[in-house]
A and B are shown apart, each in its own frame.
Chain A
């Protein structure tokens, strides 16, 4: 077997790593200097500042390329790696202070490179020892992430991994995005959560938006545009475990329901006893719902641009899975009664609840199946969608 490449001597010599590193680090240093004097330049002239910004950007990119290629050229030189640590640190000063999400990784890189320089300078035996410590630390973190999940039966997460997670490993695992616990489909595969939103316009028209729905959101071959929205909807489903319904809350909900024809929680509970009637989202989910409402407010304008969006009502909808018995007896997986909508609030343009005391807030507004008064061969039942009835109502305040 022969190769077609020519002898090394016939080629142009590869550049010395120092001819890449030195100009590279100088370029980055110059960019950092330009950043330090940016305010002074701004005062002098904004055009000069813009030119200086472009120069800073070019110097930074060129400097990173030079320093990076020097390391690629000679990856085992402790001096070069040490210089690359300085280059990374300078990079963090060459970007605007407001760009903290870019400054931070540069500083982390500087620390890693400094440690790398020491590591490379060590004899093989110590290199292996240091790498072994790093490997043990790394998998200790993975184990911590796996074990900090509280068991579903209660009792909280184990104490030691939780302490290690919060005090030692969290920065590392989150920075590297290695924080998954890998508890796939456990403890049990659960139903999907979707979002229903009623976009209301100032001319009293409205539209319902379902997130995700395959027709609108399946855009790529992997259907990731759809699945990512499914994950997003799931982020509204983190719920406060203890959920006490006070008599006042129940009374307000019952009275408000009577006004628009929605059954009382106790009546709903008799029909679907397994579904919780009232579920409060955690602070995290509440924040996400607020952000999604804000997005929906902007993403679904009226056909007439002169008609603004007035409000967005959001429902977290648990789509129960059909059981084999139900399937055999003719219930379809999309049967309306398998959807459990929980009202999450009405939101304004900024994603703020228009009425934090809404009597329906976080209550189940189900779709119930009733026998038809005049059944036909094909349709023996009719559905009443109380979420839709609720959505169509005008604002009800608890004081009403």
Chain B
């Protein structure tokens, strides 16, 4: 801390550019990969309905939208300058009228037109070709999840996921944003350096190690720390703070977050929650019949959400309190997953929260998982002489 205080640039450099163990990234990659894989398997049922020529958002409209949508910034002065008169030119007047009818704004007010959307699905619309391409993408994502040729598949997985989000504009929600930012940050770092097939193969002398961007000749027991790993982890951490801060502060504008009823409107939303199932409906009904419990549960949930989200960016940097915040994040998103049914979103947020878990803790978890504590071999007394003889 004293160094930070003495030299802000030194603190900045240490924060962003200290080499870090990529073990945490390996764990995040697995979780992200699983989420990405399941999210895109979901598209298999709707490839034509969401991305085909005659999709819900049809290709013609999607193309028109990405090429012609006027972008109108607020005026640089106190009011918008008046659009130039069409004058005597009837052709221009007709164009202006058409533009106003289509987009609801005078073309002269637009700073630019179109959105930088890019997707192969704007051009590949043959159902068979789409199915083959989608199948290939799923294979890439599976390889990424297990960490095979991760340097290559991490970039391909990000590229592939972008094709879907840029075409399926109206079908997206928070989960897709989280997935993309995780893929983006993981792509910047050696996320396949730990807990991956790459590493497993390298340790067994696979001769194509150069494909992974790793030097097989120098493989220590632990993955080699790298600046890229630290930058990726820091980007995730800072981004998560922005997310929680925005989510928490924007809630303060809502009356239901002030009067403590917001949680009810989340848990009693029939279209999202499992309210159709007896166990859940009975729990909600029971709670409603007991006003005190209802108020305690709802107000408690609201206070927890607000305090947690707003305080997270400030408290999480303290190593002593960090585990509480990470556990709180896992709890919050597990609850959201169960109650709101947003499993993919929950998985992505938990993956993001894991960026705060130190690599040595991750390695301990992995060691516990992969190498369970060995029970001492119990040798029956009667077998001992035979063993001795065999020896």
Q: Which residues of A contact B (CB under 8 A)?
A: 1, 3-8, 11-12, 14-15, 68-69, 72-73, 75, 98-102, 104-105, 128, 131-132, 135, 138-139, 142-143, 146, 149, 151-153, 156-157, 159, 162-163, 165-167, 170-171, 174-178, 180-192, 194, 212, 214, 219-225, 227-232, 235, 282-283, 287-288, 290-292, 294-295, 298-299, 319, 321-325, 327-328, 333-334, 351
Can you report 6 residue pairs joining A to B where beta carbons are below 8 Å apart? A166-B73, A171-B116, A177-B180, A182-B243, A187-B251, A188-B262
- Quick check: B207 and A139 within 8 Å, CB to CB? no
By a CB distance below 8 angstroms, the chain B residues around A222 are 38-39, 42, 343-344
Among B52-60, B322-330, B367-375, B376-384, the one that faces the other chain is B52-60
Inter-subunit contact A219/B38 (CB<8 Å): no
Q: Is the CB of B111 within 8 A of A166?
A: yes
Residue B5 CB within 8 A of the other chain: no
Closest to B268 in A: A321
**Smallest Cβ-Cβ distance to B276: which chain A residue:** A214
Q: Secondary structure at chain B's binding surface: helix, strand, loop or mixed?
A: helix
Is A333 touching B118 in the complex (CB atoms < 8 A)?
A: no
Task: Across the interface, name the chain A residue whose C-beta is closest to B254.
Answer: A187
Q: Is the CB of B205 within 8 A of A4?
A: yes
User: Given A101-B118, A227-B341, is A188 in contact with B256 using a C-beta cutoff of 8 Å?
Assistant: yes
What residue in chain A is nearest B281 (Cβ atoms)? A333
* A149–B275 CB distance below 8 A: no
Question: Of the candidates A4, A227, A299, which one forms a contact with B173 in the assembled complex, judged by CB atoms under 8 Å apart?
Answer: A227
| B residues whose Cβ falls under 8 Å from a Cβ of A | 12-13, 16-17, 38-39, 41-46, 49-50, 54-58, 61, 65-67, 71-74, 76, 102-104, 111, 115-120, 122-123, 151-152, 155, 162, 165-166, 168, 170-174, 176-177, 180-181, 184, 202-207, 209-211, 213, 216-217, 219, 221, 231, 235, 238-239, 242-243, 246-247, 250-251, 253-257, 262, 264-266, 268-272, 275-276, 281, 284-285, 287-289, 294, 341-344
Nearest-neighbour CB distance to chain A for B231, whole angstroms, equals 7
Pairwise interchain contact B266-A189, C-beta atoms closer than 8 A: yes
Expressed in whole angstroms, the minimum distance between the Cβ of B31 and any Cβ of chain A is: 14
Q: Are A180 and B235 in contact (CB under 8 A)?
A: no
Q: Is the pair B247, A183 in contact by a Cβ cutoff of 8 Å?
A: yes
Chain B residues whose CB sits within 8 angstroms of the CB of A99 once the complex forms: 122-123
**CB pair B271 A230 closer than 8 Å:** yes
B268 near A192 with CB under 8 A, answer no
**B38 contact set on A, CB distance < 8 A:** 220-222, 224
Q: Which residues of chain B are within 8 angstroms of A159 by Cβ–Cβ distance?
A: 74
Residues on the A chain within 8 Å of B57, using CB: 232, 288, 291
Inside 8 A of B207's CB, which chain A residues have their CB?
A: 11-12
How far apart sit A152 and B326, CA to CA, in the bound complex (Å)? 31
| Known contacts A231-B172, A235-B170; is-contact A156 B74 (Cβ 8 Å) | yes
| Chain A proximity of B228: nearest CB distance (Å) | 10
Complex contact A186–B270 (CB within 8 A): no
Interchain CB contact under 8 A, A178 and B250: no
Q: Are the C-beta atoms of B45 and A101 separated by less than 8 Å?
A: no
Q: List chain B residues, Cβ under 8 A from A101.
A: 66, 117-120, 122-123, 166
Instruction: Name the residue among A1, A228, A291 with the largest chain B CB count within 10 angstroms.
Output: A228
- Docked pose: A104 CA to B205 CA in angstroms: 41
Contacts of A291 in B (CB 8 A): 56-58, 61
B177 engages A72 (CB within 8 Å): no
What separation, in Å, do the CA atoms of A1 and B250 have in the docked complex?
52
Asked if B123 and A327 make an inter-chain contact with CB atoms under 8 angstroms apart, the answer reads: no
For A174, what are the chain B residues with a Cβ–Cβ distance below 8 Å? 115-117
Given contacts A102-B118, A178-B180, contact A334 B341 (CB under 8 A): no
Judge whether A324 and B294 touch: CB under 8 Å. yes
